[in-house]
Amino acid sequence: MRDEARLAIDLCGLRLRTPLVLLSGCVGFGEEYTRVEGFSNADAGAVCLKGTTLAPRLGNPAHRVYETPGGMLNAIGLQNPGARAVVDDILPKLDFTETRFIANVSGSTVEEYEEVTRIFDDSPIDAIEINISCPNVKEGGVTFGNDPDMSARVVAACRRATNKPLITKLSPNQTDIANNARRCIEAGTNGFAVINTLMGMAIDIEARRPVIGNNQGGVSGPAIKPIAVFKTFQVAQVARPLGIPIIGQGGVTCAADAIEFLLAGATAVGVGTGLFYDPMLLKSINVGLLDYLDRHGMASVGELSGALKLNGA
């Protein structure tokens, strides 16, 4: 890649060679897409590993994935071998010279989040993403991420368990995402991933049943991009003045999409569902970013972050 230094960014104290981040759940535990000829983790600034819980999980019943207009509906159910197996069996097989690797911590109690974070703290993982879009079994199934108090409690617990950078993945399924972000900053988060999937449903009209085995699932893909860009902008108003970086994500399929998130206030850009359409997507986005910098006389991609000019301002 030409002039690749122009794409390098700093994320929570970590140097990334490009602002592109492979999103949790879309690339397994970091080795799946490397089986595709021509694909390399080195094209990403960082890779977020699959959501990991304390104990192994089998996940939800089929169907787990369903294509929707402009995107995808999924309810995998956090299938994973458990945090200890990830650290002992999977991390040693990853090439940490290629890119940065970020663990994704999930749980059904605050205590589980804290314990999984502690396990990853004693590992070579570069940073930890907190998936707060999980149901709190002690509070009747209320999602951690939709309640600012519970979000802050999870972040504070994870903060106690590690000195590694913490990136909190915010849910769009809440009333005031900026207020939630503020509470998470106070609790000790170092960064944000904005946004997680929106909740949705698809129905088989002949069977008169939901298509997804779990009845509902998360909607991702181009259809959610305008929402994700706006949520990124809202969180940026709280985070950027404090130097808290954001991974903007949701529906990125080309360089123009990535640039929208950067202008809205993101430091990095997550790519996920788009890989299902084009496994080589990162290469074309990186080239497109450099072309944009050339056309606009910019020295680095960092000049794009938060450079949005509002109408009427």
First to last CA, the chain: 37
Provide the 3-class DSSP secondary structure of residue 85.
Answer: helix
Question: Residue 70 to residues 148, 217, 223: CA-CA distances in angstroms?
Answer: 30, 15, 5
Q: Are 52 and 103 in contact (CB under 8 A)?
A: yes
Question: Known catalytic residue: 134?
Answer: yes
Task: Give whole-number Cα distances, 80 to 53, 74, 114, in Å.
Answer: 7, 16, 18
**DSSP for 157-187?**
HHHHH-SS-EEEEE-SSSS-HHHHHHHHHHH
The catalytically annotated residue of 12, 48, 134, 158 is: 134
Half-sphere exposure of 258 (CA within 13 A, CB side): 31
d(CA 150, CA 140): 13
Three-class secondary structure of residue 89 per DSSP: helix
Is the CB of residue 26 less than 8 Å from the CB of residue 19?
Answer: no
CA distance 308 to 285: 20
Which are the catalytic amino acids?
A: 134
